[in-house]
Amino acid sequence: MQFEVTWAMPNKATFSIPPIKKFIDKWIPDKDVVIVDPFRGESDIGNLTNDIRETRIDSLVWLKSIPAGIADVVLFDPPYTPRQLKECYNSLGLSLHDTTAGYWAKLRDEVVRISHKGTIVLSFGYGASHIGTKRGYDIEEGLIVLQAEKQGEFDIVDGLMILHGSLHNATICMAEVKR
């Protein structure tokens, strides 16, 4: 698998960054499908969304309320670090009880549960975070070369790394399809 690497200015509204918008448009050419976005923020792409600022519902709790197998596309763009997650909750006067890797694992487990064969998951983060081979997603395509065993339910079929300059972490975008 090879990843495309490009440069763009950073923006907290991830999906407004031009190469990321292009990446999303490539994978969601038909907006007339069920697009789940548990971390909506500034985005209006999803049609089944949670914005914690409005709902006051944690994304994990929200995802658990979604019926199994309903998602055609999942936009997985959580706060990228435990610090960002905690700052988000604190700014809303909410209490966050878990910032460990286990929290993100539980989120990914819920993404798998709401997916069906052919569901596309678009993941975004500072690291090569994805749903994972243990949950049935494999790496398939994309200029950083990666190898992964084919096991589980998902194939990673595309990737993009956006460089933002010397003082900013790169944003890594992954496209995975459920087998």
Convert the pLDDT of each residue in 22-42 to its tens digit: 999 999 988 899 999 999 988
CATH architecture of the region 4-178: 3-Layer(aba) Sandwich (3.40)
| Rounded Cα–Cα distance for residues 64 and 12 (Å) | 26
Higher pLDDT, 148 or 135: 135
Run of H or E including 116: strand 115-125
pLDDT for 2 equals 60
* Confidence category of residue 161, pLDDT binned at 50, 70, 90: confident
* Confidence category of residue 102, pLDDT binned at 50, 70, 90: confident
pTM above 0.75, yes or no: yes
